[in-house]
Every structure is written in structure tokens, then in C-alpha cells.
Amino acid sequence: MSNVESRLEKADDIIRNHIMYAVGGGVIPIPLVDIAAVSAIQLDMLKQLAKVYEIEFSDESGKAYVSAIAGSSLARIGASLVKTIPGIGSLVGGISMPILSGASTYALGEVFKTHFESGGKLADISMDKAKDIFKREFEIGKNIAKEIKKMRDKKS
């Protein structure tokens, strides 16, 4: 196995694990606490990816990039706030938030994996390009997160 294959495998494992954590974080029934948990999970994922690619990382810059790329996902915030509606809100938010959290985590991971794989550093990421990749990968991530949620629900 080459260094590139090994690095990609490690990066994919990190992303996959963090999708599972994010799906779990999205289940938290308290609005906005779920978003804070998922944001922390995404920041940890970025930190681990940076380590794999030997990229200098700081929490401050990591938070800025995570919020600039994934934080603008209004659907996530909407799903979180839906949980405040008595009765049906918990059900709807409890179904949609884990999927949106997993999907955004997948997309964010793919953005940074692609950028780091091309030799990029945190400081030189193009936000326009990152947001384009995020949008595309978010759609793929929804299906991945749905499958993870199904597996998780079966275990419960």
C-alpha cells in the first residue's frame, strides 16, 4: 500500500467515524445544543485530518473554517429549532437533524480531504471552491447519513 493510499484510508476512516458521531449528536433533543455538539465533532474531525496530512492546525482557525463552510447550513439550524415545537417538533427534528448533521460532516470532511490531498494548507483554502465542493458532497452525505442512522436505529 502506498503512502497516498494509506493516507486516504486514514482520512476516510476519520470522516466515517465522525459522521457516526455527528448523527449521534444530531439526536440530542435540546435545540442548539445539538448544533454545538456537531460543530465540536466537525472541529475534531478537521484537527485529525490536519494531523494525517501534517498540516499546521489551531482551534481558532479550525472553528473559523468549519463555520464558514458548514455553519451556513440553514437546514441544520432549522431542523434543530423544529425540535422546540411541542410534540411533532421532537419527532421531525429528531429524524432530520441527525441526517443533516451527518451529511454536513461528510461534506466538510471531503472538502478538507480534497484540499489537503492536493497539497493545500488551511490558510490557502478557496472558500468559493470549498463551498461548491461542500454543496455537492452534502447531497451524497445525506444518503450516507441515512444509512448510518438506520444502522444506529436498529441497534437501539
Give the pLDDT confidence of 46-100 residue by residue, as tens digits.
Answer: 999 999 999 999 999 998 888 888 765 545 555 555 555 555 544 444 567 888 8
Which pLDDT does position 74 carry in this prediction?
46
Record the pTM. 0.86
49: in domain = yes
The dihedral through the CA atoms of 15, 34, 37, 133 has a sign that is positive
Q: How far apart are CA 140 and CA 104, in angstroms?
A: 10
- 128-155 pLDDT, tens digit per residue, is 999 999 999 999 999 998 898 888 778 7
Number of domains, the chain? 1
111: in domain = yes
Cβ-based neighbours of 48, under 8 Å, separated by 6 or more:
14, 18
32: in domain = yes
Q: How far apart are CA 4 and CA 44, in angstroms?
A: 22
Element (H, E) at 4: helix 3-26
100: in domain = yes
65: in domain = yes
Q: What's the whole-number mean pLDDT along residues 89-118?
A: 82
